[in-house]
Amino acid sequence: MLEEDYRGLLETRARFPERIAEAAAARRRGPQLREGGQLLIVAADHPARGALGVGGRPLAMGSRVELLDRLRTALARPGVDGLLATPDVVEDLLLLGALHDKVVIGSMNRGGLHGAVFELDDRFTAYDAATIARMRLDGGKMLCRIGLGEHGTAATLEACGRAVTELAGRGLVAMLEPFWSSQAGGVVRHDLSPDAMIRAISVVQGLGATSARTWLKLPVVADMERVLRATTLPTLLLGGDPGDPGDPGGAPDAHAAWRKALRLPGVRGLVVGRALLYPPDDDVATAVDTAVAMLEVG
């Protein structure tokens, strides 16, 4: 990021906060999610959960200046359709003029902080449906980790169902990211077996008063064709930390898995964050171009 951009952002944040709403009102909106072809959406909502690590770098995402620089590089590449992020990141990019002609999905529940004893309590701490509509975004994304041994899961399910209903009532997409999860010794683990993913999909696609505008965001797991037959909802594939095989979507052979899964019925594209923004060689443009090349053109 140019020094003048950085200092200009600091000055605007401090003195002219009303310019955020003005930038949202003036933003040229991108194509609708339901239009043809597969989508590539860049995700940047990990920092709000305290998940800043990438590979062996525990604070890789700790510099907001560097993150914004990488996001602007990614969003400027041909074939990138949009952004999924929390309000702070969306607003920085609005002020920088980087979101014209893009799909923008607001991340809603970031309360389950990474590594916390309450990590599976996925409370809504970021966007709500009313603000997503007011800011002229295209939808809201929810993390929905289902832990049968966690009392907080009931509240998460209820809150996600309410958000699905409120988004749909405003004509907006509700994007649900489900996992069948457990927590032991302070570590959250996702059951990425096909059977567990089918159970998680079955639960979350029933949330809300209507599923008319519900989309799913799923990791690529074994027997993905059978997993996808558990739903008729539009599905985007998630991509995680390529240096962490324990991260959903983050296995070293993720690219091969994405290529295969992108050809399955119902798959509408990719939502990828750290794998594109922090590749091992730090060449964001090449990482993004590689992902774009995997997509089918409608």
Measured over the CA atoms of residue 82, residue 90, residue 252 and residue 113, the dihedral's sign is negative
pLDDT for residue 166: 98
Distance CA 54, CA 73 (A): 18
pLDDT greater than 70 at residue 294:
yes
**Is the overall model pTM greater than 0.85, yes or no?**
yes
Q: Residue 117, class by beta-carbon neighbours within 10 Å (0-12 exposed, 13-18 middle, 19+ buried)? A: exposed
Distance CA 87, CA 91 (A): 6
pLDDT for residue 159: 97
Query: In the chain, how many H helices and how many E strands?
Result: 11, 9
- pLDDT, greater one: 2 or 225: 225
pLDDT for residue 162: 98
Distance CA 96, CA 86 (A): 16
pLDDT for residue 298: 46
Q: Which residues pair with 97 in a beta bridge?
A: none
Task: Quick: pLDDT tens for 230-267.
Answer: 999 999 999 865 555 556 655 557 788 899 999 999 99
Coil, helix or strand at residue 236? strand
**Residue 179's Cα: distance from chain center in Å?**
14
Of the candidates 106, 159, 162, the one whose C-alpha atom is nearest the C-alpha of residue 136 is 106
Residue with tokens 């409120």: 166
Residues composing the chain: 298
pLDDT for residue 297: 57
SS (H, E, C) 173-206: EEEEEEEEEEEECCEEEECCCHHHHHHHHHHHCC
Task: Quick: pLDDT tens for 142-153.
Answer: 999 999 998 889
pLDDT greater than 60 at residue 17:
yes
pLDDT for residue 98: 97
Beta carbons within 8 Å of 163's beta carbon, 6+ residues apart:
108, 124, 128, 129, 140, 142, 174, 208
Helix, strand, coil percent content, the chain, rounded in steps of 5: 35, 20, 45
Tokens at 98, concatenated: 């980087």
Task: Quick: pLDDT tens for 170-227.
Answer: 999 999 999 999 998 889 999 999 999 999 999 999 999 999 999 999 999 999 999 9
Could you count the other beta carbons within 10 Å of the beta carbon of residue 151? Answer: 9
Residue with tokens 């009102």: 25
pLDDT for residue 55: 85
Q: Which residues pair with 182 in a beta bridge?
A: 189
What rounded mean pLDDT belongs to the chain? Answer: 93
CB 176 within 8 A of CB 214: yes
pLDDT for residue 247: 60
Beta carbons within 8 Å of 54's beta carbon, 6+ residues apart:
60, 61, 241, 243, 274, 278
Domain boundaries, the chain: 3-27+37-294
What are the CA-CA distances from residue 138 to residues 76, 110, 249 (Å)?
Answer: 19, 19, 24
Tokens at 123, concatenated: 């409370």
pLDDT for residue 2: 81
Confidence tier at 273 by pLDDT (50, 70, 90): very high
Mean pLDDT score, 19-42: 89
The CATH classification of domain 3-27+37-294, taken from the options 1.10.150.20, 3.20.20.70, 3.40.50.10470, 3.40.50.150: 3.20.20.70
Mean pLDDT score, 112-138: 95
